[in-house]
Every structure is written in C-alpha cells, then in structure tokens.
Amino acid sequence: MSAVPEWFAGKARWSGFEIAFWCALAGAYFLPNIDIALLSQIFIWGLFAMSLDLLLGYRGIASLGHAAFFGAGAYCAGFLGKYGWGEPVSGLLISMLPAAALGWLTGKLVQRVSGVALLMVTLGLNLILFDFVQRSTALTGGDDGLQGIAVDPLLGLFRFDIFGRTAYWYSLGALFALFVFLRAFVHSPFGLALTGSRENARRMIMLGSPVEGDISIVFAVSAAAAAAAGALLTQTTQFVSPATLSFQRSADVLVMLIIGGAGRLYGGLIGALIFLVMKDWLAALSPVYWYFWIGLLLVLVVSFFRKGVLPSLETGMRGLIARLGKARGGGPPA
Amino acid sequence: MKQIAIAAAALAALLSASGARAQESVKIGLLQSFSGITSLSGQQTDGAVKLFMKQNGDTAGGKKIEFVRRDTTGPNPEVARRLVQEVVTREKVQLLIGPDFTPNTLAAAPILMEAKVPSFVNGAATTGIIGEKSSYSSRTFFATPQLCRPLAEYAVKNNWKRVFVAVADFAPGHDCEKYFVEALAAASGVLAGQLRVPLSNPEFSGYMQRIRDAKPDALFIFMPLGELSIGILRAVSDSGLKGSGIKIMGTGDITDETYLDAVGDAAIGTITSGIYSTRHESELNKKFVREYTELNGPSPRIGWTAVSIYDAMRLAYDGLNAQAGGKFDPDKFVSFVHGRSFESPRGPVTIDKGNGDITQNVYIRRTDKVDGVLQNVEIETFKDVGFK
C-alpha cells in the first residue's frame, strides 16, 4: 500500500533541471546589458500561458478567450490602485478573486459542451467583456485606458522604478510562488483525476470521479492564475487598457503554449520566452518586415517540433541518454 | 586569478572609454508604427527623417545624431511602454519622437517624466494628453478640437445650418463629435441628427438612407485614417447623397493624401479641415514637397505624419544647437522648445509655453483635381487656432 504515497512523493521531487532553470531566471538579472523589462514581460506572459496549460494541457479543454480572465485581473488591480488600495501583494491576491468566480461560472456554463462549441463560448465571453470595457468610458476610460493608477512600494521598501528592477523581482517572485502552487496542484490526486478525465472521461465517471464538477474547479484555478498575470502587468506598468482583453491576446497565449509544449507547466514559460525574445529581436532588427520572420518561425517550430519545443527536446534527450546507456536519475523537467 | 583581474580592468577601461565617446553623440528614439495596418505612418517617418538629415546634416550642437528605431505595432500600450523603458534605460536615448497613438502616449508619460527625456508627440490627437503629467513632451501633431471647431463655424457661416454628424464609434470619434456639436450650437447651427459607425466591417448603405431622411444641409464625417474613410466617401457618392445637394464635410483624415487616390473622383468637392496640404502656398512648402518627392519617390504621397515628424526634427536640431558644446541638458531643451514659434511647411506653428501643446493655422480645403491629380486645395484659413 505504500507504493501510492511514494509515487506522489517521487512526482513532487524537484529535479536538477528545474532548480537550474529557476536559478537561471534569477541569475539573468545580473547579466550585463540584459533587457529586464522584456524579461518581466516574459514572466507575466509565461504565467498566463501556464494558467491556460492547466486547462489545455491537463484537462484537454481549449479556451479561445483566456484573455477575459487576464483582463479581469488587470482591471481589478487597476481599480484597486486608482481608488486607494496601492499595496501590491494584497492587491494581487484580491484581483484573483473576481476572476476565479468568473472562471467557476464559466466552468459551470461549459461543463456539458465540448469541442467547437466550447471554443465559441469562451470566445464569446471574451468578446462580451472586451466590448463592455471599451464602451464603459466613464468607468474604464475606454480605448485610452484607465488613468491614475498608483502602486505603493513593494513591501513598503522598493518602489517601482523606471528601470524595472522592482518589477523584475516582483513578477519573478509571484511567478515562482504561483508555479509552486500549480505544480503541487497538478501533482495532487485531484490533478491526476484531471489528467484521467482528459484521457478517458467515461472511464473516470465509472471510477466515481465527479468529472463535470471538476471542470468548474480547474476553470476557477486557471482563471485566478491568469488574473494574477493580468494584475502583475497592471501593477508593474501602472497602466491598463482594453488591449489586455483583446482576442489577439487570447490567440497569442495559445500560440506560446503550443510552441513551448502543453501539459508540463514549463511549456508555457519556454513558449513565452521563445516567442517574445524572437519578436523583440526581429522587430529591433527590422522594424518594417519583422512579421514575415515571425510567421516563418511559427511554421518551422510547428513542423519540426510537432508537440512543442519542450516535449520534443525531452524525447530527443531521452533517446540520447538511452543510447549512451547511462540512464541516471534527474531527467528533464516533467 | 591575476589574468581575470587584468581582463576585468581592461573591460572596465573599454566600457568607460565607450561611455566617454557616447557623450559626443545624441541618441533619438523613433517609436512609430512601422508594421501592420498603420505602417504608412512609419514609412512617412523614415522619409521625413531622411529628408531632414539630408538638408541639415547629421550633427546638431556639435553632437552626432544617432537613431534607435522601434515598432510600436499600433495602439498597444503594453508594448509601447516597454519599448520606451528599453530605449530610455538601455539605449539611453536623450530625446524621443513618439510613441504614436493616445493610449501609448499616456502609458509612456510617467517614464519620460521620471527619466527627464523630452519627447515629441505625434499621431495622438486627444485633448489634454499634453500638459502637467508630461511636462517634458511637446506636440507637433494637432489636437482634435483644432480640426472640429473651425469646420462647424465655417458651415454655419456658409448657411449650411442643419448638419448631420457621423463619427466612428471609438474614443477619438466621440471626442470629435463632442467638440463639433458644441461649436455648432455656439454658432447657432442645428444638429439634424447623429450616428456612430462601428469600426469593424460597417455596412454603409443603411446609414446613407438615415442621413437622407434627416434632410440636412451638410454631413459632417469623422473616420480614422484608412479603410473606413475610403469606404464612407465612396458610399456617400454611390448612394447619390452627394448628388442630392448635401454638402460633405469632415476632418482632413477622410481625404488624407496617402490614400486620396484610392477614393478616386468620389472625393471631389469634399470640404475638410486640416493642418497641412501638399498644395499649401509657401516657398518652404514647395521646397519641402519637391525634395521629399525627389528623395522618397512619389508614392506614398506626403501626409500629416511626414510634416509632423519633420517639424519635430526641426525643433530637436534647434534645441540642440541652442546648447552647443555643453553636456545635454533636458530641462534647458524643454524650456527652449516650449514657447517656440517657427515656420513649418504647413505654415506658422507655435509650441505653447505653458504646456507644450500646439497652436497652428487650420485650413478649410476643398478636394479637387489639379493637373489630373486629386488635391486638398486650401480655400480659407483660420489663424492660430488653439488646442482647447
């Protein structure tokens, strides 16, 4: 009987690759001439992609309107900052609540639909929110964005400076904290049940697993994480506009997740890193024609890394290790 | 260990040497839309900068001018803010031209204030975005009321008392509608009706019927640059609205030179208010148009962005020359630029001393065919129109 707890403990153990990965993110700050503003944005997008991974990778539900939750968090943090609640950490936590509720409701709404219908519902929700925010100019400032957001110094000590130093550590810290939580979440028995429902929902029902109810829970958790990403963006830039709710954002995050590889949490981070670094690099290189190269890159990634960059590398590495015949512990991040 | 220390010292010496050299140059950030549907403004930016450098050389105030170009990708405050942060903190630009669009300008302002980087606002026309919260910025473009108010006065003066107002349904459209309706009432004109057209895929024929039923003397249009402007002018012509004696008016966006040829003859007779026409009668403008066309070719035609960027370059050079020899001082630069009057290809321009916004002539123009080419011909001038 002790095999089951042991299996969970084995899953939850941190591998050398994971520790190295996080150390690298923290260490990147000290590299000379590194663009820390870009890295902060990558952390935020990475968290956003990770939240979508919970739905797409672990439960097998595609959402085409995930920006709705991102934007809900962003505007919530914006309103808090505007109307006097400038403390960033509590502001971040509070901003996750309305989105979690919205996610829970969405889960209730979509638990009986699947496939294309599901895409339509999530997309529709996103569009409704976008239009609402854009038209309520008195409340949200419409297209021009919400003005007058004030954010207090972090922990009362570090103000958000123009170099983006505080923003860097703040978003990295928040990303890591949420990652640790999500990692525990997907390795919990509940997370395992999610994966089971993804593979064979009917079988899970026969095992007595509440498949439909689980959908609203995972939607709520995913929405809360997406909202945290949105709130981070608002707090670190002190600005929020309807662009946080745009369909383009929903599409971009899906692209990032697919580039990186769904179903392993790190995929979203890697995808955000590749997508945004390439975009920034190409756009600076040739501000006029860079979209061409981005398009080409996407086509190449999808044709050579079918399942995404991370899973393909993982498979390649496994093959290499097996061939060398010295399969030791601590494989690539899983 | 010793070798590492020597290498480090050498590296430090190298870095400080390059730092010393950097002081003899001035970096200007160019943040415009170079890609996407608004990339025409990026092309004009490049054209205007190229022309100005050719005419005035690549040094000002004894410092070599270098550029850092970045693509804002359109109204995208998240990207624009990060790019401003990047060019200010890493590329260490001392001056900035852009970013374009109101939300981008608003998102960038706090950084520019804190870093004391003087900027020239271009491609953003909303009222009140220049001032206290961005005291290092100057606008070389225009402010929305500048275009909307004079046209209302002009209409009533010509006895087109009943005016129907049609605007695009987004923030600048609402802004323009407000100022036009206000000015119309002040000139004791009558609002015959109004409608807001959605930004994506509008079907114009239904709107044309509504306008016809309201029986106005004139129709006032505000549409963003591009497709919608072309679409509505064609619809007005095809539906027979234009032929029925209703005067067609609008802000100069609808007959912008960059796509006026695409509208075709449907545009003839349209009355617009604008800050610049390539047909503006002045020696400076003739020279500007001739040399711009020689350098950049006849297509795309010169629009407002080109002039606005050209003027920003003018101010940047004058400001740098005024403090030649010394280290660049942003406060001195701003106090030089604010309050400055100069002759632009568009006519006389003054940058407000108090807040850096722009005062300029606004021209009422009629679209006509001149030597076989559609042109906005200036027919009346409102002198020194303020930005409020």
pLDDT in tens, B228-271: 888 899 999 998 888 888 999 999 989 998 889 989 999 999 99
B126 reaches A (C-beta below 8 A) = yes
The answer regarding whether domain B145-274+363-385 maps to CATH 3.40.50.2300 reads: yes
Per-residue pLDDT at A58: 85
The interface predicted TM-score (ipTM) is 0.76
Architecture per CATH, B22-142+283-356? 3-Layer(aba) Sandwich (3.40)
Higher pLDDT, B273 or B200: B273
In total, chain A counts a number of residues equal to 334
Q: Give domain A3-324's CATH number out of 3.30.450, 1.20.1050, 1.10.3470, 3.40.50.
A: 1.10.3470
pLDDT beneath 50, residues of chain A: 1, 330-334
Of A143, A238, A244, the CB nearest to B171: A143
Residue B289, exposed/middle/buried by CB under 10 A (0-12, 13-18, 19+)? middle
Per-residue pLDDT at A3: 67
**Among chain B residues, CA nearest to A39:** B82
d(CA B327, CA A137) in angstroms, rounded, equals 44
Q: Do A144 and B103 touch (CB under 8 A)?
A: yes
Cβ contacts of B43 on chain A, cutoff 8 Å? 288
d(CA B204, CA B187) in angstroms, rounded, equals 29
Of B78, B111, B126, the CB nearest to A144: B126
Q: Which of B30, B76, B89 to mutate against chain A (most A CBs within 10 Å)?
A: B89
Q: How far is B244 from chain A (nearest CA, A)?
A: 35
| Pair B74, B36: CB distance under 8 Å | yes
**Among chain B residues, CA nearest to A291:** B35
d(CA B32, CA B80) in angstroms, rounded, equals 9
Rg (CA), chain A: 20
**Domain locations along chain B:** 22-142+283-356, 145-274+363-385
pLDDT band for position B19 (cuts 50, 70, 90): very low
* DSSP string over A38-49: HHHHHHHHHHHH
**Among chain A residues, CA nearest to B74:** A243
**Among chain A residues, CA nearest to B29:** A284
| Pair A240, A227: CB distance under 8 Å | no
pLDDT band for position B335 (cuts 50, 70, 90): very high
In this structure, how many other beta carbons lie within 10 angstroms of the beta carbon of residue A189?
Answer: 9
Question: Between vectors from CA B339 to CA B334 and to CA B342, what angle results, nearest 5°?
Answer: 105
Rg (CA), chain B: 23
Q: Which of A162, A248, A292 to mutate against chain B (most B CBs within 10 Å)?
A: A162
Cβ contacts of B42 on chain A, cutoff 8 Å? 287-288
A138 reaches B (C-beta below 8 A) = no
What are residue B344's DSSP bridge partners? B347
In this structure, how many other beta carbons lie within 10 angstroms of the beta carbon of residue A101?
Answer: 14
Per-residue pLDDT at B67: 94
Phi, psi for residue A86 in degrees, rounded to 5: -90, -10
d(CA B316, CA B212) in angstroms, rounded, equals 49
Per-residue pLDDT at A299: 85
Chain A and chain B share a number of CB contacts under 8 A equal to 87
B67 reaches A (C-beta below 8 A) = no
Work out the angle between the directed axes of helices A211-237 and A165-187 (0-180°, nearest 10): 170
Cβ contacts of A145 on chain B, cutoff 8 Å? 77, 103, 106-107
Looking at residues B326-343, what average pLDDT do you find? Answer: 93
Edge-to-edge strands, sheet with B95-97: B59-60, B63-71, B25-32, B95-97, B119-121, B137-139
Cβ contacts of B86 on chain A, cutoff 8 Å? 35, 37-38
Cβ contacts of B114 on chain A, cutoff 8 Å? 162
What are residue B191's DSSP bridge partners? B163
B377 reaches A (C-beta below 8 A) = no
Per-residue pLDDT at A326: 58
Tens of pLDDT, residue by residue over B286-305, are: 999 999 999 998 888 898 99
Q: How far is A113 from chain B (nearest CA, A)?
A: 30
- End-to-end CA gap in chain A: 25
Task: Give the start-end residues of each E strand in B72-127.
Answer: 95-97, 119-121
d(CA A42, CA A265) in angstroms, rounded, equals 15
| Pair B81, A239: CB distance under 8 Å | yes
Q: Which of B31, B35, B45 to mutate against chain A (most A CBs within 10 Å)?
A: B35
B39 reaches A (C-beta below 8 A) = yes
| Pair B258, B41: CB distance under 8 Å | no
| Domain B22-142+283-356 and domain B145-274+363-385 have a common topology | yes
Taking the alpha carbons of B242, B248, B250, B254 in that order, is the dihedral positive or negative? positive
Q: What tokens appear for B218 in the block?
A: 């004139």
Instruction: Please name the residue that has the structure tokens 């403090």.
Output: B323
State yes or no: pLDDT of B10 exceeds 70: no
Cβ contacts of A237 on chain B, cutoff 8 Å? 77-78, 81-82, 107
d(CA B103, CA B75) in angstroms, rounded, equals 7
SS3 assignment, position B216: coil
Q: Give the CA distances from residue A199 to residues A58, A222, B143, B164, B207, in Å, rounded to whole numbers and listed in that order.
A: 10, 19, 59, 61, 53
B292 reaches A (C-beta below 8 A) = no
Q: Give the CA distances from residue A202 to residues A54, A211, B218, in Å, rounded to whole numbers and listed in that order.
A: 20, 9, 67
Looking at residues B197-217, what average pLDDT do you find? Answer: 87
Q: Which of A136, A144, A168, A236 to mutate against chain B (most B CBs within 10 Å)?
A: A144
Per-residue pLDDT at B6: 52
Helix (H) or strand (E) holding B165: strand B162-168
| Pair B251, B272: CB distance under 8 Å | yes
Of A35, A147, A241, the CB nearest to B90: A35
Q: What tokens appear for A93 in the block?
A: 């936590």
What are residue A158's DSSP bridge partners? A154
Best CA proximity match to B348, nearest among B384, B312, B387: B384
Of B35, B102, B126, the CB nearest to A291: B35
pLDDT band for position B12 (cuts 50, 70, 90): very low
d(CA B383, CA B116) in angstroms, rounded, equals 33
Cβ contacts of A292 on chain B, cutoff 8 Å? none
Contacts 24+ apart (CB under 8 A), B49-57: B49/B309, B49/B313, B50/B295, B50/B296, B51/B288, B51/B291, B51/B292, B51/B295, B51/B296, B51/B310, B52/B310, B52/B313, B52/B314, B52/B317, B53/B313, B54/B291, B54/B295, B55/B291, B56/B313, B56/B317
